[in-house]
Structure 1
């Protein structure tokens, strides 16, 4: 299965970049603030450029493919299930519970999703609805909760203004707008001398996020805190096992998808948790260990789940 082998190669590439970040921290390259600098730059500059570059080039009808219904409902289901389990068992505060919910539902649609969509599913545009959904719905909601809970007060004005403080959402919406205008006019409306530098900056987002994640592993022992182990394993199971099962049920039963579309929905649901969740945790300085270990466990186990899905459905 050449596509499956290509996907495994993609996971290897990601692991190498994380390892580079770890080695850089171990060798003290960049000093003690290097991880923070990478996190902030990727959050405010390179990631918004990446979202704009990807979505502005996508045909507007591909961005809003009907598979977004499956992605949205399956994400809501597992995120809600984690919040229910937290209320019954884990008893985390609102900020940590938000990180847990994001760990359960947030897909790594960029640096893993794009290669898998390209090499296994044969269509990189399949991740576009997930990009839009996460940046336009789940990210603003999650960051609003983090903003409110870390500030200690609830401000309607701050909540309403929250989208203005989300560079990723602004970049995504700008890209969608350009895609719509380009479809209307019949040609790409951004000249190359403006688009190319944006695209170049966006290309730095994924390496920065991965290396910052690798830096966070230096000097720390994953799964060290006993009180968090059950929650970490839970979010990995929700993300890598429960979410694909829910996606299959929704795609097959609710939407009536068959063949490649059904296969794509289930494979994309099995993507590991996105490194952006750690980026958000670092941005608000909450749930850092929880976010890091959940992402790590999800990333390690996801290839096995995707390989099993490929054997069953491809």
Structure 2
């Protein structure tokens, strides 16, 4: 039943992605449709969705001990890539940072939300990962990119990065409301205000999936032969090694079993986040490397998650 549910979830996700691809191929809504969907999802529907979900979620469930698994499995594969790069690829600091990010940074938004919704049955599962990545890994990565591309860094700009992430702001707002509800026993948002927030948020998952489908039209991955081997290593680290480490930590150290174990390993098998490409583009370094790593891990991730479902669900 677990594998069947996972496959049904992928069918739902795949159909919506396919609609986006066909729409792009037929030039529905013009060449800017993907950008408009991405921008609207980024600034409006995704933050509304996370606020609506987390504000109703008990605070103890939001900060579940599974965040320990997510943090240490991500840290492990990031360090592994840096070691492999030093031994084999000899990339400079900026490209090595992009490779480490592609190895550890989960697509908790565009792919994570749909998978948590349709396969794991709880979109709130991605919230701790989102907060962890934006509050810990992103500032570290941007500091490294600042130093390696310019030779200097701006502490003010790095510390301000989380404030420019609407999804993080929406999540933190929802967490604050959840904490208030837990302390007072009263949910402070009136129904006539919560309902439109929830309705707008419901558009997030189909919108980001269709935008992702549009992005696949005309894409030619792995054209850069120099980065091909590194991208293959990144994909193995992201989609195979990271879920394996997550399983070992969850099962033998944290003592997780059942649904919690399943969720930890599935979320670890999420593809690399598209934010990695955004960071590469911002610093104008390793953009092709970042894009191909995201795309390759996105293609292989469903296969790995299906295998995980076969054995763990």
> Which range, TM-score by smaller chain?
0.7 to 0.9
Match of 1:132 in 2: 131
Match of 1:28 in 2: 27
Structure 2 CA distance, aligned partners of 1:208 and 1:284? 27
Contact between 2:143 and 2:153, CA under 8 Å: does it hold in 1? no
Matched, 1:212 2:211: yes
Task: Go from structure 1 to structure 2 and tell me whether the alpha carbon gap of 1:30 and 1:120 turns closer, same or farther (over 3 Å shift).
Answer: closer
Task: Go from structure 1 to structure 2 and tell me whether the alpha carbon gap of 1:119 and 1:59 turns closer, same or farther (over 3 Å shift).
Answer: same
Contact between 1:7 and 1:115, CA under 8 Å: does it hold in 2? no
* Distance apart, 1:66 and its partner CA: 1.0
Structure 2 CA distance, aligned partners of 1:256 and 1:53? 31
Match of 2:231 in 1: 232
Contact between 2:49 and 2:198, CA under 8 Å: does it hold in 1? yes
Match of 2:18 in 1: 19
Structure 2 CA distance, aligned partners of 1:154 and 1:72? 25
Matched, 1:7 2:6: yes
* Distance apart, 1:124 and its partner CA: 5.4
* Distance apart, 1:239 and its partner CA: 1.3
* Distance apart, 1:77 and its partner CA: 0.7
Structure 2 CA distance, aligned partners of 1:115 and 1:82? 28
Secondary structure of 2:187's partner? Answer: coil
Task: Go from structure 1 to structure 2 and tell me whether the alpha carbon gap of 1:83 and 1:18 turns closer, same or farther (over 3 Å shift).
Answer: farther
Task: Go from structure 1 to structure 2 and tell me whether the alpha carbon gap of 1:278 and 1:53 turns closer, same or farther (over 3 Å shift).
Answer: farther
Match of 1:75 in 2: 74
Aligned pairs, number: 313
Structure 2 residues not aligned, in runs of 5+: none
Deviates more, 1:92-101 or 1:68-77: 92-101
Instruction: Please give the per-residue CA displacement for 1:5-37, whole angstroms capped at 9, x wherever unaligned.
Output: 121122222223333333233223333333333
Match of 1:302 in 2: 301
Deviates more, 1:181-190 or 1:62-71: 181-190
Deviates more, 1:272-281 or 1:161-170: 272-281
Contact between 1:80 and 1:101, CA under 8 Å: does it hold in 2? yes
Task: Go from structure 1 to structure 2 and tell me whether the alpha carbon gap of 1:203 and 1:234 turns closer, same or farther (over 3 Å shift).
Answer: farther
Task: Go from structure 1 to structure 2 and tell me whether the alpha carbon gap of 1:112 and 1:36 turns closer, same or farther (over 3 Å shift).
Answer: closer
Secondary structure of 1:211's partner? Answer: helix
Match of 2:195 in 1: 196
Contact between 1:235 and 1:294, CA under 8 Å: does it hold in 2? yes
Match of 2:183 in 1: 184
Structure 1 residues not aligned, in runs of 5+: none
Contact between 2:6 and 2:309, CA under 8 Å: does it hold in 1? no
Match of 2:246 in 1: 247
Deviates more, 1:183-192 or 1:233-242: 183-192
* Distance apart, 1:116 and its partner CA: 5.1
